[in-house]
Amino acid sequence: MKGRKKLPLVRTYLKRCRAVIAACVCGGILCASVFWLYRLPVEAVLYACILSAVPGLGLAVRSFYSYCRKCRDLERMLAWKTGSPEFAAPASDQAELLYRKLLVSSYEERERLLQEEEEKRTEMKDYYTMWVHQVKTPIAAMNLILQTGEGPDHGRLSTELFKIEQYVEMVLQYLRADSPSADLVIREYQLDSIVKKAIHKYAPVFIRKKTALDYRPAVCLVRTDEKWLLFVIEQLLSNALKYTERGRITIRLEEERETENGGELRTLIVEDTGRGIAPEDIPRVFEKGYTGCNGRVNQGSSGIGLYLCKKVMTRLAHEMVIESQPGVGTKVKLRLDMTKFTPE
């Protein structure tokens, strides 16, 4: 294997030294011509060539070894992520030394810019996290005020305040979703319990909008993170309620197939009879900030909800698929790894 890896290096090295090789060949031909013109013995020519070739080969081997070390240095620098590059082979001349200084300077500048960007991102994350926690206090106070009094606009105010709570919660989840671990706790959970928490949270909205809910209990265990899967289901219910003026929302479990580890891959379906999604929008609904035709009609759409849902589902190693027809409704499929299923 090592010989195969060195063959390209030998070819490139010979190509790099072609001028020197050509000069040596021309010099040998010239010496042979002089010996032939003066009718000197052939043994003398061969002896002179051998004496010249031995030190030449030694210098060539040394030069090739130095060339290989420099190539390895460059390969390491291509894969270098942090810090300044280190060189195994010394610089052969002043030009190469200047190139190395320029390269080190570029790496250091990159590190400085990356550190500044990380500090800015951390400061922004800290600020918005603090803002979210601070704004929750007046929201809680307004909720208390609405609970103690009744008025003609009480229901409408409660709905709008609930939307504010959801948008604030989305900001917090957006910030958390960018962290490497995202505060994941992967273990087995009752899917039915997670779904019921989401339904209970949105029950007042179902009642105010007079939207029917058809829920068929998903009695099974799922290997996931409860908090993040709950966030995804809540976002799907929020979207379904937002775009369903009449009809019903259905939540049911659909069996699919067994997994390699002996578990069962099943699909949790959240389906509505709302306005649906245009066919040209479906391939882009998971893009950050993309709102599509519905977003242009409904100015309250941010294009962040489905983007976050897809990001969370990918991190949880689950799959999320959307099927929709304009004027008929939307069906969102969450493919989950079930560890145990108990039929009704």
With tokens 């009449």, the residue in question is 246
Cβ-defined contacts of 159-165 (< 8 Å, 24+): 159/205, 159/208, 162/204, 162/205, 163/300, 164/139, 165/139
36-42-44 Cα angle (round to 5): 105
Provide the pLDDT for residue 343: 44
| Burial environment of residue 141 by CB neighbours within 10 A (0 to 12, 13 to 18, 19 or more) | exposed
The closest alpha carbon to 128, from 185, 168, 96, belongs to 168
What 3-state class would DSSP assign to 17? coil
From first to last of its 344 residues, the chain has per-residue pLDDT tens of: 444 556 677 777 777 777 777 887 787 778 777 777 777 676 766 776 777 777 777 777 777 777 777 777 767 766 665 556 666 666 666 766 777 777 778 878 888 888 888 888 777 777 777 777 777 777 777 777 777 766 666 677 777 777 787 777 877 777 777 665 557 888 899 999 999 999 998 898 888 888 999 998 888 888 899 999 999 999 999 889 988 888 899 999 886 655 555 556 778 999 999 888 888 888 888 888 777 676 555 555 667 888 888 988 988 889 999 999 888 899 999 998 765 444 44
Provide the pLDDT for residue 269: 93
Provide the pLDDT for residue 250: 94
**124 sits in which H/E element:** helix 94-148
Beta pairing, strands 264-272 & 319-325: unpaired
Provide the pLDDT for residue 341: 46
